[in-house]
Amino acid sequence: MASTVRDLFGEWRAAHGHLASLATEIGRAETALLPALGDRVAAELEPGDVDTYRAARARVVTRRGRAPSVATLNREIMLLFRLLNFGVSRRRLAANPLKGAVKLLREPPPPDAVVDEAGLDALLLQLRHPVARAWTIVAFESGMRRGEILRLCWRHLDFKRGRILLPGAHTKSRRPRAVEFPARSQAAVGELPRSARSDLVFANPATGRAYSPRRLYRMFVDAVAAAGLLGADGKPPTWHALRRSYITLLRRRGVQETIAMRLSGHASRSVFDRYNIVSDNEISDAIAINAAGRAREIAALRNGQRRGPQRKAVDVEAGPWDTSSIPDVATNRASWPLPR
């Protein structure tokens, strides 16, 4: 019996229970991919099916009030490719019918909005709610993802060492991670009432349930608009821009990129580079630094100050060398083997 896309997803899901992103992939498949292509025979898929799928998805209005982004569509097609390749590896398919015939859409560049200390001060002047303020400050000073902050517990906070110890169950990579917990974040969190019903930091003290992220995000958006914050691309920063800003400021302050990746929880350098925003001013500064270094080298070369590597002279006569075993070249040349 020919395998459908839904059949392949069931087998793939059972074989990849260890993936940290499995929950995301399940949601992506059950929300979009399987309702549209789940009952199709996998071996009979054609490039036109992908075109039809993309066109139908472009007419969908998501919870954000707009059509799915190009990045979302690409990740859904990438999941479809993984299922087809998995079917080939398990001999459910003779070949991937879409291989070489479907390309991913070109994604727009990431938002160029970096919130610095001045931007944060302007934002906090407009953000009065204590929970929203603490939520924003912790995000800005730790670079944690939204889900990591919402699942943050009081037992994870180390006030003495100034760190937050995230368990692997609460991170996207399923690996434990230590992040920053500076004094400003400690003060903001310390003002929050603690619930007797829950260990969550951002929980309603009356019910013990986590605060609605939509409500907190709405407060953040309103505060950004009131503060008049805009990025270099002319767009206001989103809440996720706080994570991008943290990573960018780490690099600008001289933190090595490998250490920055450990703090941010990025396992892939390609994804990290999308979060590390390089501004035009930094490029200009780099050009100026390089030009100044080039000028110094040229001046030193013209002044004769630049010399090649010097070899240390060896005085053979003065050294304790035993030359008795070294054959004389002139007398022993006839005994050397001739080249063939």
Give the chain's length: 340
What are the structural domain ranges in the chain?
A: 5-89, 117-275, 280-306
Q: Which residues pair with 166 in a beta bridge?
A: 177
Long-range contacts of 50-58 (CB under 8 A, 24+ apart): 50/77, 50/80, 50/98, 50/102, 53/77, 54/105, 57/32
Q: Which two tokens stand for residue 123?
A: 């934002």
CATH annotation of 117-275: 1.10.443.10
pTM here is 0.63
Q: Which residue has the tokens 């789940």?
A: 38
**Cα Rg of the chain (Å, integer):** 30
- Tens-binned pLDDT, residue by residue, of the chain (340 aa): 789 999 999 999 999 887 767 888 899 999 999 999 999 999 999 999 999 999 999 898 887 788 888 989 999 999 999 999 999 999 999 999 999 999 988 887 766 778 888 899 999 999 989 999 999 999 999 989 888 898 899 999 999 989 889 888 888 777 888 888 989 999 999 999 888 888 999 988 888 888 888 888 899 999 999 999 888 778 888 888 898 888 888 888 887 777 778 887 776 666 666 666 666 675 666 667 777 777 787 788 788 765 555 555 545 444 444 445 444 544 444 444 544 4
Chain centroid, CA 189 distance in Å = 26
Give the separation between CA 1 and CA 3, rounded to whole angstroms: 6
Give the separation between CA 134 and CA 129, rounded to whole angstroms: 9
Per 3-state DSSP, the chain is made up of helix, strand and coil in percentages (nearest 5) of 50, 5, 45
